[in-house]
Amino acid sequence: MSTQSEFSLIETYFTDLTASRDDVYLGIGDDCALLTCPDGHVVAVSIDTLVAGIHFFADVDPESLGHKSLAVGLSDLAAMGAKPAWFTLALTLPDSSAPWLTAFSQGLATLAKQYNIQLVGGDTTKGPLTISIQVHGFIKPEQALRRDGAQIGDLIYVSGTLGDAGAALQLKLQQWDDEALTAEDKHYFYHRLEKPTPRIDLGQSLLEFATSAIDISDGLSSDLAHILKKSDVGATIDLAKLPLSSSLQNISKTKAVELALNSGDDYELCFTIPADKQKLFESTVDGTYRQVGVIEAELGLRAINVDGQMDTITGSGYDHFSTNS
Ligand code: ADP
Ligand code: MG
């Protein structure tokens, strides 16, 4: 993008977009941002890229896209138990449409203000629509909720409800429909796909209790499998316990469970809690979450299916590089 238009675009849409934080010594406008980290903490960093046509539909509402671009990064901070601080934005645009940029930056700004995360820099280029956001948060290193901490006997929990975003995606791609679904149900699914809620507060509350955590971006079966692999343990989950929204309960149980287990984009948290902390955890920590399984010594992921029978799960969550997805 030409230098002048790049500067005015940044000035118009991205400078002073978000709340200003005391720990930003120098924000947007120089070669680098200058940032300070509180004593005793380290910086948790994560980057995600959303490409038009692959991670979102090119005609998606830009306000929702602004929200989601930041929400996926915030979800990674939540899964680590980190407190959001700053983000950078690399934006590749085919053109600079004012209504699109206004709506996109509003979606971004609303969520950023909600979680007190400040935009401190970025890069703007011309090309096929692509959004990369790098988020930064604070964490005491010894407290971080890593994937490798699950212990045999720990209880497995998930937050919110699962499968809603997956239902929206399948509806949108016309891969599936169900006549029992009302317009409100479908609207709710699309809302879950386009405007995920990062579970930042829950992530912070888990610091005292959880032995491991991950956010569910690809599907419970594949994301839980990451915890199992890193922690060198196995698990059994009870499919009848998977939390389903009232909209997802309107479809067949088999299909709903399949979506809840294997579809991605929900951005809920999956975490493990030692059994002896269960009572204290459940009585202290607010939020919507449910125990769905238990960590075991036997490797692999097993499920008690809705008929009470044991199944093995091979992990068919979304895999960008698998040949059949
Ligand atoms: P440089 O040439 O030093 O890389 P740029 O011209 O790319 O600087 O950017 C100028 C300033 O604007 C920098 O501080 C950069 O971080 C910021 N910036 C560029 N694009 C964005 C964006 N999309 N969002 C936020 N800040 C941006
Ligand atoms: Mg640059």
Integer Cα distance of 197 and 271 in angstroms:
17
Reported as a pLDDT band with limits 50, 70 and 90, residue 317 is very low
Asked if pLDDT for residue 181 goes beyond 80, the answer is yes
CA-proximal residue: ligand 1, atom 4 (nearest)? 31
Angle value at C-alpha 14, between 9 and 20, nearest 5 degrees: 150
Closest among 219, 314, 235 to 268, alpha carbons compared: 219
Chain mean position to CA 314: 22
Place of tokens 């269960």: 278
Please choose from 4, 5, 10 the residue to mutate so as to test ligand 1's pocket, defined by most ligand atoms within 8 A of CB: 10
Query: Which helix (H) or strand (E) segment is 3 a member of?
Result: helix 3-13
Q: What is the DSSP string of 51-114?
A: EBTTTB-TTS-HHHHHHHHHHHHHHHHHHHTPEEEEEEEEEEESS--HHHHHHHHHHHHHHHHH
Chain mean position to CA 199: 8
pLDDT tens-digit profile of 64-103? 999 999 999 999 999 999 999 999 999 999 998 999 999 9
Query: Which helix (H) or strand (E) segment is 302 a member of?
Result: strand 300-304
According to DSSP, the residues that pair with 45 across neighbouring strands are: 136
| pLDDT score of 189 | 98
Please choose from 100, 124, 131, 136 the residue to mutate so as to test ligand 1's pocket, defined by most ligand atoms within 8 A of CB: 124
DSSP state of 154: P
- CB of 196 closer than 8 Å to CB of 269: no
| pLDDT score of 1 | 55
Ligand 2: distance of its center to the CA of 47 in Å?
Answer: 17
Asked if pLDDT for residue 128 goes beyond 70, the answer is yes
Q: What is the DSSP string of 252-297?
A: -HHHHHHHHHH-----EEEEEE-GGGHHHHHHH--S-EEEEEEEES
Tokens, residue 77: 């901070």
Ligand 1: distance of its center to the CA of 29 in Å?
Answer: 6
Closest among 120, 148, 113, 125 to 136, alpha carbons compared: 120
More confident residue, 222 or 324: 222
Query: Which helix (H) or strand (E) segment is 234 a member of?
Result: strand 234-238
Reported as a pLDDT band with limits 50, 70 and 90, residue 324 is very low
Ligand 2: distance of its center to the CA of 58 in Å?
Answer: 24
Ligand 2: distance of its center to the CA of 29 in Å?
Answer: 10
Question: What is the number of other CB atoms lying within 10 angstroms of the CB of residue 78?
Answer: 30
Whose atoms come closest to the Cα of 90: which ligand?
1
Q: Looking at ligand 1, which atom is closest to the CA of residue 17?
A: 25
Asked if pLDDT for residue 6 goes beyond 80, the answer is no
pLDDT tens-digit profile of 187-222? 999 999 999 999 999 999 999 999 999 999 999 999
- Between the two ends of the chain, the Cα-to-Cα distance in Å is 35
| pLDDT score of 316 | 53
Reported as a pLDDT band with limits 50, 70 and 90, residue 323 is very low
Please choose from 8, 28, 101 the residue to mutate so as to test ligand 1's pocket, defined by most ligand atoms within 8 A of CB: 28
Integer Cα distance of 319 and 262 in angstroms:
11
pLDDT tens-digit profile of 135-172? 999 999 999 999 999 999 999 999 999 999 999 999 99
Q: Looking at ligand 1, which atom is closest to the CA of residue 121?
A: 16
| pLDDT score of 16 | 82
pLDDT tens-digit profile of 23-32? 999 999 999 9
| pLDDT score of 5 | 73
Ligand 2: distance of its center to the CA of 45 in Å?
Answer: 19
Reported as a pLDDT band with limits 50, 70 and 90, residue 58 is confident
CA-proximal residue: ligand 1, atom 20 (nearest)? 123
Integer Cα distance of 247 and 187 in angstroms:
10
Question: pLDDT over 70 for what percent of the chain?
Answer: 95
Angle value at C-alpha 314, between 311 and 318, nearest 5 degrees: 130
Integer Cα distance of 130 and 161 in angstroms:
29
Residue type, 61: D
CA-proximal residue: ligand 1, atom 22 (nearest)? 122
CA-proximal residue: ligand 1, atom 13 (nearest)? 29
Question: What is the number of other CB atoms lying within 10 angstroms of the CB of residue 234?
Answer: 19
Mean pLDDT of 176-180: 93
CA-proximal residue: ligand 1, atom 11 (nearest)? 29
- Exposed/middle/buried for residue 110 (C-beta within 10 Å: 0-12, 13-18, 19+): middle
